[in-house]
Amino acid sequence: MSTVRVGPLVNIPKLLLKLGCDPDPVFEKAGFKREALEDTEHRISYLAGDRLLAECVTATKCEHFGLLLGEMAGPSYLGVTGFLIRTASTVGQALKMLVENLDLHDEGGTCALDVEADYSRLSFHVHQPGVSAIAQIYDMSAVIMCKTMRSLCGNGWNASQVLLMRKRPAELAPYTRCFRAPVLFDSATNGLLFPSHCLQLTPPTSDELLHHHLELEAKVLHEMHHHELIDMLPAVLQRGVLLDQCSARDIADVFGLQERTLHRRLQAAGTSFRKELDSVRESLSLQLLESSSLPIGEIATSLGYADSSGFIRAFHRWTGFSPAVWRKQNSLRGINSGNGLVHEY
């Protein structure tokens, strides 16, 4: 099971009090020990943190609790990864460091940077199965990504568009106030779209010597937290699916292996590349169907299927239902308001 540093969650008691809630009953109901939040470096299971966030939303009746929690944090709350970002020589290098080292903070999610000529996209997606407060996690991650970019580019920086993989909330003002940019709800991805020229900027906190020191520290931490290929594969596959780079050759390249070596190692672990890819696509499809109103065809495309029929057949094989029937039976409560593009800011 994935773990995550407590990081931004340390501010939960303070936020609960601000919203008029006694933290103790919330922690008790979530089965979470409050002292676990005393140190940002403490690691907890991903699902334990998820249960706590879900209870916070229930207690406060605030469907943008994760957004508010993200506003109380910033890149430093990511530990070594956050400090490494801030000392990079360019914004592009900083985001590369974030993608490569996020696992030191969060083992249940994956960051990706997709660079095009005019616009680039920084995104974050959860690959830990069984997450219930995913809208809160995505809101919080988007805010922290936004604050990270502002720490690198200046406080006046705003994204060209904020993409949120969640249904449009009833209250939009907190989102427009926080992001100061158009927000697209019901998105197939979760992240920020911004001009690619930002990647060439020099962060005000750039420090070459400190950056080198932190790179060495990150390398040591990676060695301490080394995972077998089979443990790392879901995160790598999810990133590949979202970037349309999920062939066996693409994934083997990520691990520095020959394609046949990848297949051999998976076979030795009692699985196969197709089975693992299927599992990741299933997990992503359930997230998209439950947390968004995205059309079935667009979900199929985002998962790498040539057409809807191929996705529908695969989904029926996984669940015994068509995507439309499953979505109807498992839809979340809330307002279903199309794509929810917000321009008021």
Q: Is 150 exposed, middle or buried, given 0-12, 13-18 or 19+ CB atoms closer than 10 A? A: middle
The pLDDT value recorded for residue 345 is 38
The pLDDT value recorded for residue 330 is 85
The pLDDT value recorded for residue 256 is 66
Which residue would you say has higher pLDDT here, 292 or 2? 292
113 pLDDT more than 90: yes
pLDDT in tens, 4-40: 999 999 999 999 999 999 999 999 999 999 999 999 9
Where along the chain do its domains lie?
A: 228-330
pLDDT in tens, 264-286: 888 878 899 999 999 999 999 99
CA distance 194 to 225: 33
Report in angstroms the alpha-carbon separations of 207 from 105, 155, 176, 332: 22, 19, 33, 46
CA distance 4 to 18: 25
337 pLDDT more than 90: no
Instruction: Give the residue carrying structure tokens 């996020």.
Output: 102
Backbone angles phi, psi at 331, to 5 degrees: -65, 145
pLDDT in tens, 117-161: 999 999 999 988 899 999 999 999 999 999 999 999 999 999 999
The pLDDT value recorded for residue 224 is 66
Mean pLDDT of 70-79: 96
Q: Tokens for 12, please give them.
A: 């939960």
Report in angstroms the alpha-carbon separations of 246 from 44, 94, 210, 236, 241: 30, 25, 35, 9, 5
Q: Tokens for 264, please give them.
A: 């051999």
Confidence of residue 336 (pLDDT cuts 50, 70, 90): very low
270 Rama class: left (phi>0) / alpha (psi -120 to 50) / beta: left
Mean pLDDT of 207-218: 95
pTM recorded for the entire structure: 0.76
The pLDDT value recorded for residue 227 is 62
> What stretches of 19-133 show up as alpha helix (H) in DSSP?
23-30, 46-60, 65-71, 80-86, 91-101
* Mean of all residue pLDDT scores within the chain: 91
- DSSP annotation string for 220-237: HHHHHT---HHHHHHHHH
The pLDDT value recorded for residue 22 is 97
- Residue 172's nearest CA partner among 150, 139, 148, 144 is 139
The pLDDT value recorded for residue 343 is 43
Mean pLDDT of 165-175: 96
The pLDDT value recorded for residue 325 is 93
CATH number of 228-330: 1.10.10.60
The answer for residues whose C-beta is within 8 angstroms of residue 255's C-beta and 6 or more apart is 229, 232, 236, 262
